[in-house]
Amino acid sequence: MVAHAERGLTQRMQVLIAPEEHRALTQLAARMGTSVGELVREAVRRTWLAPRGPETHLHLAVFESARVPVPSPDELERELDASQDRP
């Protein structure tokens, strides 16, 4: 196995997660034949570091900063119906 430093992994992070999340990640990693750390690194790469246009990053930043409640699909449908005077 290649040492972490040889793979360019030199920065350490500590992340606190709930026990059930840790359990689920540990089980998933075992099924996939990888480590929990590698699952987390892959999630970071795919979610936050994937090639995207600058607009996408801006939209994510605005969305994350808003922290407004999001209605359920049923509530949205009722609101749409009400706005269009549908019963």
Q: CB-based contacts of 22: which residues, under 8 Å, 6+ apart?
A: 36
pLDDT at residue 36 in the model: 95
pLDDT at residue 59 in the model: 65
- Residue 14, SS3 per DSSP: coil
Question: How does pLDDT run across 30-65, given as a tens digit for each residue?
Answer: 999 999 999 999 988 887 777 666 566 666 666 666
Predicted TM-score of the model (pTM): 0.54
Domain ranges of the chain: 5-83
pLDDT at residue 41 in the model: 92
CB atoms within 10 A of CB 57: 11
Domain topology for 5-83: Arc Repressor Mutant (1.10.1220)
Q: Is pLDDT at 17 greater than 50 in this prediction?
A: yes
Kindly list the distances between the CA atom of residue 11 and the CA atoms of 8, 50, 51, in Å, as whole numbers in the listed order: 9, 19, 22
The dihedrals phi and psi of 70, each to the nearest 5 degrees, come to: -110, 120
Indicate the pLDDT class of residue 27, thresholds 50, 70 and 90. Answer: very high
Question: How does pLDDT run across 4-16, given as a tens digit for each residue?
Answer: 777 888 899 999 9
